Structure 1
Amino acid sequence: MTKAAVRQQTTGQRGALAALALAQFICSFAGSNMNVMINDISRDLDTTVQGVQVAITVFLLVMAALMIPGGKLTDRYGRKRCFLTGLVVYATGALLSAVSPGLGVLILGNSILEGVGTALLIPPVYILTTLLYQDLHSRARAFGVIMALGGIGAAAGPLIGGLITTAISWRAAFVFQALVIAVIVLLSRRIADPLPPDPSRSFDTFGAVLSAAGLLLVVMGILAADNDIWLMIVLLAAGAAVLGWFFHWVRAREASGREPLLSLGLFHDRTSNLGLVTQNVQWLVLMGTSFTVAAYLQVVRHYDAIQTGVVFTAATLGLLGTSLSARRLAERRSQRALVMTGFGVCVVGIVVLVVLAGAYSTAWAFVPGLLLIGLGLGVMLTPSVNIVQSSFPEARQGEISGLSRSVSNLGSTFGTAIAGTILVSGLSSGAYAAAMLTLAVLSLVGLAAAARLPRGATDGI
């Protein structure tokens, strides 16, 4: 290959990476920026804090429920086509949200359409990155950029959303999302799909309905915890039954030689399974912390949107610093060690956050804990993705990418639902501490999973 051809390929990869990373940024931003608009939206749309929590949770749930079908569709219709379709659907939802007259339209635009758009565009981000970057070190660097912007989108969402809400309106934050989507579409011209689509691939529609329904019932059960304990039990049991039906359906479909929505063979890799657990808990902690702290600052301490956003700058800076060092860290430490370190730092950060917030009334009391949480998350987001994606060959990237993103977004959903439900049930200092300490306990679950990762399987990636 000539030097000119190498330069052209490098330029094309950089342009594609810019589009893919920016797409992850805006989707993560959408999951957290509404946290600082809780008071503004509830007043403008005549709803409650719980109503806004439902809108945020439904958005995360739609992403999680449809991510696996979204990943499968990339094989049939092509990664770039699904990516662009998702961008268009997402932008439509953002613009509809910007003009919503009530909570119902906001849920349609933000929770449904943006959620569907995200489920279509995010699997191609991870599949294309894995296919475009063949060696593990360059892939670690690419995933580092993507996960850095994803983490920054989630952590800086409150600050950016707060600035826009205070300066203009909460509605302008959705216009901002649509404008970023337009930029991504322009950058996407540089993306080349390494694999041709296969229109002959079948799609398991019934399996997709079962998986989505099961996840929906489980999250609805969590949300019902503060209102009706028996309803919670019924919904959780129904969700577990539907998910059990889904796995039975998949097993039967595979046994008959037909292609299922999700191959059970994906769960035969122990390293990947543990990596998926760590991904789930990481996003649970990130989104659970974001919602809990933001809601507490606004509702209990009466901070406005921009004040709340400024407090979250500490988490953003911490996450940015460690995420952008992903390649260098991967060269010096095993992926297992990085993930374990990240969870350990997060646990310390949560404890510091609870102790200082209880002892001092100043906003500075939140900075050390949020900084530590950001540092911990930034250390481990990229290694967890790399562990999972690198466990499978190119032919299975569509499936594992959809599963990986579904597990991560399900973590985001659980974080907002579990911590948010604990907080909203009391909206007090005690409820805030209980919600955060719950996240600390769940971080320990992630740490235990990371400790069980095989040492040799994750070294040198």
Structure 2
Amino acid sequence: MTTTAESGAAPVIPHARLVLLAACLGLFMSFIEVTAAISTLRALQVDMGVAPADLSWVSSTYTLVVAACVLSGGALGERFGRRRVFLTGVVLLAAGSLVVATADGYPQVLLGRGVSGLGGALVLPTSLALITTTFFVDLPRMVRFIAVWVSVSGIGLAVGPLLGGLLLDVSGWRAVYVVNTPLAVVTVLVTLRAVTESRVPDRPLDLAGQFWAVLGLSTLVYGIAVGGREGYDDPWVVAVLAVAAVALTALVLTERRTAQPMLDVRMMRDGRYTAALCVAAASLFVFVGVIFVEVLFLQRVRGLGPLGTGVRLLPAMLAFVAATFTAQRLAGRVRPGRLLALGSLITTVAALVLLFQRPDGSYAVTALGLLLVGSGSGLVVAPSTNAAFEVVDGALMGQASSAVTAFRQVGSVLATSVLGAVLALRFLGTLPGSLDERGVAGPVADRVVAVARDGGAGTASVSPPPITGAVGDAFTSGVHGALWVVAGVACTAAVLAWALLATRRAE
């Protein structure tokens, strides 16, 4: 229960910090699944004899399920209880990880990743809802706590490879998937102690909207991911992406006609509101995308292990956290739209700096790029929620916060699939020429390209130097292609933020 100590005083909210802790723990569990899993791929491949072409689905299955179901997670929380759905998601995250940790075959690994993905889809929107529904009577504190909540996403992404590397060195890849079990126990206990249930009991489930969202988002992510390996002219990829286009169109049409939609697309008639959602999506697309690409670059090109990779990603994490709190302190003095424009511009510069990375280059370039991307992203992620609040009526703030959360998470999921596809296409496209430049031709070159096409680029480290160098150059070219996409997305976000959100709406 929320009370007011006296007129003009801030409301007294029991267990306020524990509510924040519960929400942040759930978010941390969700995001650590993204990059921690990447650190286990090589060890898992060797242990289970997984084909290189199938290995990417260990990480992609989680993000695919999250993308498909994240919109439904918020709607289910409103109908059945935000605390109940949040706790269900926490349990599923841990259960899925345990399924992977105890797996005796590749199918069980994918099953566990899918279960964890379903848990992440429930936790991501409801963890923010725990904050907004608890602190809506104290807007300044709500904004501060959202900033803390957002910073945890960066911590989870950056800590994932570091923690994964430590556990791999000490115990093996299975230990990485046990991490969420003790975290889940603590999260459940804190949630039961501090969080009160809240729901909208008469909220319709919007089953049609959920169906089209799941079908559209899952086929979109799947089509993008497979297209990066098979090519976008492959008939199966074309068919899957066509289904995605039809389903997402049907989602928009369905939500326009629904009295209480899961995603109110009618609010998006306001260009400023739509801009806030797009910038929110771009913010995590950029941050998650750069972390994802840099993990691959550091491990596959620089030949670092998971622990070394995690240590070298620390500049991004530390800068992200620092910039998030800086943005919170500036919230009352600088308009959210201006912070969004500045942060997006900084991340654009960060992506351009990272283009100077070379297989044998200095880590200083990587560190500077990571420092900039963390700083810029920290100035964007939290203020994007404030920017959406600024352009909607007070009664619509709940829907706006849910929409911003959904767009952020879809942006983070699309980052791995889109950038992975761009990287793969550029890598495979430049590898033959790179091999030729180093004097590798004929059947040997064909064999190297075939192995790389099946996803075995990481095996180049045990090959002769000419092949290792050619693969490193080609993979770096793929990384640069992905970073150009990041730069384009960030620059577009900066333009949108400055043009539509940096100034007040004319009355």
TM > 0.5: yes
**Where does residue 202 of structure 2 map in the other structure?**
200
Amino acid at match of 1:339: L
**Where does residue 442 of structure 2 map in the other structure?**
none
> What is the CA deviation profile of residues 58-87 of structure 1, one whole-angstrom value per residue up to 9, with x for unaligned ones?
312322221221111122111111111111
**Where does residue 492 of structure 2 map in the other structure?**
445
> What is the CA deviation profile of residues 273-304 of structure 1, one whole-angstrom value per residue up to 9, with x for unaligned ones?
11110111111112221221111222222211
How far off its partner does 1:103 sit?
3.0
**Where does residue 240 of structure 1 map in the other structure?**
245
CA contact (8 A) 1:60 1:410 kept: no
1:23 aligns to 2:26 (yes or no): yes
How far off its partner does 1:148 sit?
0.8
**Where does residue 106 of structure 1 map in the other structure?**
109
1:58 aligns to 2:61 (yes or no): yes
Q: Distance in 2 between matches of 1:52 and 1:113?
A: 18
Q: Distance in 1 between matches of 2:49 and 2:10?
A: 55
Q: 1:122–1:53: structure 2 CA closer, same or farther, 3 Å change rule?
A: same
**Where does residue 216 of structure 1 map in the other structure?**
218
1:170 aligns to 2:173 (yes or no): yes
Amino acid at match of 1:335: P
Q: What is the root-mean-square deviation of aligned Cα atoms in Å?
A: 2.5
How far off its partner does 1:135 sit?
3.8
How far off its partner does 1:37 sit?
2.4
Larger deviation: 377-386 or 259-268?
259-268
Q: Is there any run of 5+ residues in structure 2 with no aligned partner, and where?
A: 428-456, 458-474
Counterpart mapping for 1:25-104 below 5 A: 25-48=28-51, 50-104=53-107
> What is the CA deviation profile of residues 2-51 of structure 1, one whole-angstrom value per residue up to 9, with x for unaligned ones?
59xx9994551111111111211221111222222232222223225553
Other structure's SS at 1:324 match? helix
**Where does residue 432 of structure 2 map in the other structure?**
none
CA contact (8 A) 2:14 2:194 kept: no
Q: Distance in 1 between matches of 2:340 and 2:363?
A: 29
CA contact (8 A) 1:71 1:398 kept: no
Q: 1:391–1:89: structure 2 CA closer, same or farther, 3 Å change rule?
A: farther
Other structure's SS at 1:416 match? helix
Q: Distance in 1 between matches of 2:412 and 2:196?
A: 29
**Where does residue 441 of structure 2 map in the other structure?**
none
1:153 aligns to 2:147 (yes or no): no
CA contact (8 A) 2:96 2:112 kept: yes
1:314 aligns to 2:315 (yes or no): yes
Q: Aligned pair count?
A: 449
Other structure's SS at 1:193 match? coil
Larger deviation: 343-352 or 446-455?
446-455
CA contact (8 A) 1:86 1:118 kept: yes
TM-score w.r.t. length of structure 1: 0.90
Q: Distance in 1 between matches of 2:10 and 2:203?
A: 36
Q: Distance in 2 between matches of 1:278 and 1:148?
A: 17
**Where does residue 480 of structure 2 map in the other structure?**
433
Amino acid at match of 1:251: R
Q: 1:429–1:2: structure 2 CA closer, same or farther, 3 Å change rule?
A: closer
Q: Distance in 2 between matches of 1:372 and 1:20?
A: 27
**Where does residue 136 of structure 1 map in the other structure?**
139
CA contact (8 A) 1:251 1:264 kept: yes
Q: Distance in 1 between matches of 2:151 and 2:63?
A: 19
Q: Distance in 1 between matches of 2:103 and 2:117?
A: 16
How far off its partner does 1:390 sit?
5.8
**Where does residue 354 of structure 1 map in the other structure?**
355
**Where does residue 404 of structure 1 map in the other structure?**
404
**Where does residue 119 of structure 1 map in the other structure?**
121
> What is the CA deviation profile of residues 300-331 of structure 1, one whole-angstrom value per residue up to 9, with x for unaligned ones?
22211111111111111111211233321213
Q: Distance in 2 between matches of 1:345 and 1:363?
A: 20
Q: Which has the larger radius of gyration?
A: 2
Q: Judging by fraction of residues, say which structure has more helix.
A: 1
Q: Is there any run of 5+ residues in structure 1 with no aligned partner, and where?
A: none
Q: Distance in 1 between matches of 2:386 and 2:41?
A: 35
